Amino acid sequence: MILTGPAIAAAVRAGEITIAPYDPARLSPNAYDWRLGDTIRVCDGDLDAAVATAFTERIIPSTGLVLEPEALYLGVTLEKTGSEKYAQLLNGDRATGALGLWVHVSAPLGHQGHAIRWTLEIRAAKPVRVYPGMTFGKLVFLTAFGTPASYQRQHAKYAATSGIDISRLYREFPQGGS
């Protein structure tokens, strides 16, 4: 079941959900409006699942940064979010979609116990200027059923993350690609 805005606020007050920085004005009926952080990575060259992705990291200036089609950008949320009790789903929203931005389409699930600033996969349909701290999507919290297993205690590729992460699939290929 999905938490309502008032239930999210109550869980934040009770320490069951972490959202930092937290602004109660960003609550909506069933979600929290998250924002784009100030750093972005532009993936360079061809991508190969068996090789670590090369990238250029940029700070998004207060005057904005134009994202171009045909590029893959990895961004980061301004907020660090997490919960040992609830799972999370991170999505783009109507406002960013109407700008032709595809935001975080491949990995929306935040496991119980994973408190992070999310890495965002971003694509632009047309050139579009984005700004640090702009509303970029919605985060929902879900009640989990069954025995909880904290993600931070798992031996998972992304359990120890502190910001923008490239794909770690290359770790599954002992000899590298092609």
Which one of the listed residues 16, 79, 121, 172 is annotated catalytic?
121
Q: What is the Cα–Cα distance from 2 to 139, expressed in whole angstroms?
A: 11
| DSSP-assigned letter for residue 114 | -
Q: Which residues pair with 124 in a beta bridge?
A: 101
DSSP 151-172: GGGS--TTSS--S-----GGGG
Residue 52 makes CB contacts below 8 A (sequence gap 6+) with 166, 170
Q: What is the Cα–Cα distance from 103 to 91, expressed in whole angstroms?
A: 7
Is position 79 annotated as part of the catalytic site? no
Residues known to be catalytic? 121
